[in-house]
Structure 1
């Protein structure tokens, strides 16, 4: 039987495999359905809608029934839906299937983050970046498989069918090792007191954390969705090598996240966020302004390093903001922040698709660099808000 931390890490890997395997085949899927850049952006809009619809539902389901059931449902459903992408023949069909895939990934994403927070509390270690390294490793595996499939001229359908069979088998292997917290309904039935606390929407610090996650989601989503197409269209790179562009991004992100526990203990979460956002912005700008393919790969690597900590650290801070006195909690807070973050996936693809249609993919990725840079002032506001929340209340002088 696997350790709980190992089982949760592997779930992050599987989620990354689902994402990386189809994201790296975007050029092939676009050709399959005959989509223009703007049309492709609208198709990618489908997965964003699915993500944002699923996130708040997933948070409530995890609070009620525990994260393990939701994780298993999301993971299995994601692998089952994946091959259907290979059957689409129009941008509309692609968008509809991506919507369903977004629902499954949204359920899995929220539930695995809640399970990860549970494990970090049990071990009392800042492991969130390490868990998210699993997602990057999975994205790397998925993109490398996609690069191989493109090189040997496999259709997306053939690639996705093989991944579906292997993925469902992997979920079955880790099932019994996943953490199985009881959920609020079970605790209430057993007589434990469950304190809900204020609504996340009424807490300014959670809105700011959600804004950081949103900016990170836009920048990371742009790197995933448009890297391969940018390398093909703007740098003249063959499809097989272009698919490796996302691999470079994923490798850099995974290696950076693996060192996250040590870095967070030394720097703290806020310095990690500020430095990372600055580096990501510089990397994306370099990739699109210097007309050399090698520089583009290096720039995407910098973006991977810079964005590595943004999402996991934000999820950790959101979970901490919702922690109850008994050591549980944070489900609603993580669900809330994730929902707002998915608005980045919701608005990012069509917006960047339109920018690419009007001004080129380079301009669209440059806009993503500016959005990544906006994380810095958002972090400053989070620090100020937290200081106000933690400040002792003013004591009025006694009247005579």
Structure 2
């Protein structure tokens, strides 16, 4: 039965909000405690970068075909599949860390990346469907749920680290919670119906066309690539950069990461009104300018208080670009699955593959200075922001 009533749309919005939040909690449970991973496995920044690359490769394998998968089994079943895979991979990572085994940890992180990729495309398609039915900008609030879940996960990570609770035990509990929510919340989703699936996944484009050959979609992907590198670098490296570059404790590093995520969360909750008032393009440009300023303050301050202010400004700047990119890719519902899959794939090249490369650079410069490398993609996203302009009403 197709869900069309306002009550069912509200229920779908709540379920989507919870799914985004759980995804953020899972991600932060790993990201906030990367210093603990380095200690357990006795790895340097470059070697940790290789582990992060395993997640990136898994997601990049999954993302291009996620639209096709969702067209076959629907968004609800895609989230269930991803949740089960995330749970199994999380248990594998925990057991591998207990054994201090690097190769099995890397293998489990690869499958964790696959689960993250499928989950991400499915939740964004469901969010776009809900946004279209509500007739107002709500995608940033869904991404605020992701950031809120990540904020809670970061605080939990900081607290457990302070209490001396090991990361493996932490991951086992998170894996169980993720599976439970992934199996229940999607029952309230609005089914994403695609009568015909094309090679990109989701609704088929007219014969002879492809989302990968659509100029606007590719430009949006490039904007999202620059913007998500900003977010991904902050997620993966703020805690480690604070520990290494500012000589902060592991718990203080996790708290700076939590501040970054809290700033993103707050901006995503209020950002929808700003987008509706000023438009996507001006808000996107302002966001990239704020991210650049926050990054510079974090890197050059040399002071924990100023670095914290920089992390907060960085989070504000990183908040809205990805949800705006998803909304822009889904402007035409008939081609939303294919285009969201393409933009997600391009964006996640930066979000997941960029931070490991920063780790390799950090072996030579220190991870705090290595973060300056994301300045160029931030400027590129600012220059190309006009691609996210909404399509004219037909």
TM-score by length of 1: 0.89
For 1:177 and 1:195, how far apart are their aligned partners in 2? Answer: 25
Report what 1:13 is aligned to.
Answer: 21
Instruction: Report the CA distance between 1:368 and its aligned residue.
Output: 2.0
| Aligned equivalents of 2:196, 2:325: Cα separation in 1 | 27
* Equivalent-residue separation in structure 2 for 1:85 and 1:195 (angstroms): 37
The CA deviation at 1:182 is 3.4
SS across alignment from 2:248? coil
Question: Is the Cα contact below 8 Å between 2:93 and 2:105 reproduced in 1?
Answer: yes
Q: How does 1:256-295 map to 2 (within 5 A)?
A: 256-295=267-306
Partner of 2:177: 166
Alignment of 1:210-221 (within 5 A): 210-221=221-232
Query: Structure 1: where are the runs of 5+ without partners?
Result: 187-193, 391-400
Q: Which residue matches 1:25?
A: 33
Cα offset for 1:87? 2.6
SS at match of 2:191: coil
Cα displacement (A) at 1:172:
3.7
Question: Per the alignment, in what secondary structure is the counterpart of residue 330 of structure 2?
Answer: helix
Offset, 1:346 = 4.8
Instruction: Kindly indicate whether residue 77 of structure 2 is the aligned counterpart of residue 69 of structure 1.
Output: yes
Question: 1:378 aligns to what?
Answer: 384
Structure 2, unmatched stretches of 5+, are 1-7, 198-202
Show the counterpart of 2:104.
93
**2:373 aligned residue:** 367
**1:110-147: per-residue Cα shift (whole Å, max 9, x none)?**
00000001111111111110111010011111111111
Instruction: Tell me what 2:121 maps to.
Output: 110
- Shift of residue 338, structure 1, vs aligned partner: 0.6
Q: Distance in 2 between matches of 1:313 and 1:235?
A: 33
Structure 1 residue ranges, 4+ long, deviating more than 6 angstroms after superposition: none
Kindly indicate whether residue 201 of structure 2 is the aligned counterpart of residue 201 of structure 1.
no
Aligned counterpart in structure 1 of residue 152 of structure 2, from 141, 144, 163: 141
Give the CA RMSD over aligned residues.
Answer: 1.9
SS in 2 for 1:343: helix
Contact 1:18 1:79 in 2 (8 A): no
Query: In the alignment, does 2:61 pair up with 1:53?
Result: yes
Of the candidates 324, 327, 338, which is equivalent to residue 313 of structure 1?
324
- Give the paired residue count: 374
User: For the Cα contact (< 8 Å) 1:43–1:92, is it kept in 2?
Assistant: no
Q: 2 CA distance for matches of 1:368 and 1:282?
A: 12
* 2:136 is equivalent to residue 125 of structure 1: yes
Q: How does 1:326-365 map to 2 (within 5 A)?
A: 329-365=335-371
Partner of 2:200: none
Give SS of 2:247's match: coil
Distance 2:229 2:109 in 1: 17
1:283: how far off?
0.1
